[in-house]
Amino acid sequence: MMFKHKKYNIYSWLFVFYIYMSLLPSNSIYVTIMPIFRNILWGLICVLSFLLFSSQIVKCKIQLKIFAGVFVLTNLLTYYLQGMFLSDNILYLIHFSLIYIFFCLPNYIRFSIYRKFVIFGAFFVSLSLIEYLFHLMGINYYLASAIERGEGSGIIYSHGLFNIYPLFEFPPRFQGLFREPGFLGTCSALILFNYDKFPKKIYMPWLVGGLFSLSLFFYILLVLVFLYHVFYSKTISLHNNLWLIFLMFLIVIAGFSILQEAIFNRVDLYLKEGDNRVTSTFNNEFSHLWNSSQYLYGKGYSLFMKNEYSWGNAGVKAEIYKYGLINVILFLFGFFVMLFIEKTKKAEKVIMFGIYLLCFYTVDCKYSIHIYILIFSLYNNLNLVRYV
């Protein structure tokens, strides 16, 4: 079925624009000059969803109902044990509602949203890369010269048209307008799992952007992408691509000094301070938590924010600290159930769940709409090429 209806195209673009707005730094110029624009987009998506797909939303699949039940249960448990819900703002609720709506949609609309996300991002990242190269040559056009990144980071950056540049860092890690380089790296790597379903002009900006982001998680996932295409999808033949492998090896050797400074030394510093995803202070606090019964139900989101742990502490340890091991298991169970929303091979389910576990270890992705969309695009029984 071709995606021709104009009203559906507008609907899917609203989805895409909201996702990219949610990936911006909290103090980005594009957020502050339109402070309620994201909420307006969310409202439009919700209204149009009920107007266009009310029957699908009411009659959703049992897996989605279980996923919603887990969401309600974790909120009730957190409220009972800690006196508040999962967060003190409604952003997590907005993202959950979009995930719920997304999986109620017909497959051709879901994958149209995915393709628009990838294609628009390729165009956007291309512009960011061009501006980034001009920045390296000393040619800049800043919308603002000094903005605090937000979320308690203490990082000050200059804001360009298509990039943000942390001050006192040259060359800065490439991140476009994503919240941080790791967000760009994660999106880039997940998209490359489907690189064979897009022309080179679409996947190359994502690949180059991921490489320039110097995101350790991107490089780890890139190895998995390579193994996935060699041994599972078989879209890469080792025999026919020996020259490419040799070229990549030469590039790594040639750029080893850069990688040593930008990646390995940074990881070594993180390992001394924490475990690459947390600070040493939080790591000590987490050790005390883990050695008590509180690890089962956590200390709460409000205490996490009050102790200024929001910056530099992410992933599974932060989730256990906030919500407890019981809720973390429920979060993972909710995602696992969603794997059965489509009839796919067991191997695909294992791959997708493994990727989600890696994401869950590094970032807060329990209700991150872009993570769900990118991972669930790996359903191989759905032909992405025929959706426009």
Across the chain, what does the average pLDDT equal? 86
Structure confidence at residue 210 (pLDDT): 93
State mean pLDDT over 25-41. Answer: 86
User: What are the phi and psi torsion angles at 249 (to 5°)?
Assistant: -65, -45
* Strands 156-160, 142-148: pairing kind: antiparallel
Share of the chain above pLDDT 70, in %: 85
Residue 69 to residue 331: CA distance in whole angstroms: 11
Whether omega for the bond prior to residue 172 falls within 30 degrees of 0, making it cis, is: no
Assign 3-state DSSP to the chain and report helix, strand, coil percentages, each to 5: 70, 5, 30
| Cβ(141)–Cβ(160) below 8 Å | yes
In single-letter form, the type of residue at position 15 comes to F
∠ CA 243-248-251, rounded to 5°? 125
Q: Where are the beta strands (DSSP E) in 99-258?
A: 142-148, 156-160, 164-166
Closest CA to 386 of 95, 63, 108: 108
Residue 30 to residue 21: CA distance in whole angstroms: 8
- Which residue in the block uniquely carries the two structure tokens 């001009």? 134
- Which residue in the block uniquely carries the two structure tokens 């308690």? 152
Closest CA to 270 of 314, 213, 218, 209: 314
**Judging by beta carbons within 10 Å of its beta carbon (0-12, 13-18, 19+), is residue 21 exposed, middle or buried?**
middle
Structure confidence at residue 387 (pLDDT): 39
Residue 329 to residue 335: CA distance in whole angstroms: 10
**What residues have CB less than 8 Å from 234, skipping those under 6 apart?**
none
Structure confidence at residue 380 (pLDDT): 65
pLDDT per residue over 35-61, tens digit each? 788 889 999 999 999 999 999 998 899
**What residues have CB less than 8 Å from 158, skipping those under 6 apart?**
140, 142, 144, 145, 146, 147, 164, 165, 167
pLDDT per residue over 305-349, tens digit each? 888 888 878 899 999 999 999 999 999 999 999 999 988 889 999
Q: Is the pLDDT of residue 1 over 50?
A: no
Closest CA to 373 of 135, 279, 167, 359: 359
Residue 344 to residue 351: CA distance in whole angstroms: 11
Residue 266 to residue 257: CA distance in whole angstroms: 13
| 157 three-class SS | strand
Residue 98 to residue 14: CA distance in whole angstroms: 11
∠ CA 144-213-138, rounded to 5°? 45
Residue 15 to residue 373: CA distance in whole angstroms: 11
| Cβ(375)–Cβ(356) below 8 Å | yes
pLDDT per residue over 188-231, tens digit each? 999 999 999 999 999 999 999 998 998 888 888 988 998 898 88
Structure confidence at residue 86 (pLDDT): 93
Closest CA to 91 of 21, 12, 44: 21
Residue 366 to residue 315: CA distance in whole angstroms: 10
- Could you tell me the pLDDT band of residue 271, with boundaries at 50, 70 and 90? low
Structure confidence at residue 312 (pLDDT): 79
Task: Write the CA distances from 326 to 10, 267, 273, integer angstroms.
Answer: 40, 30, 27
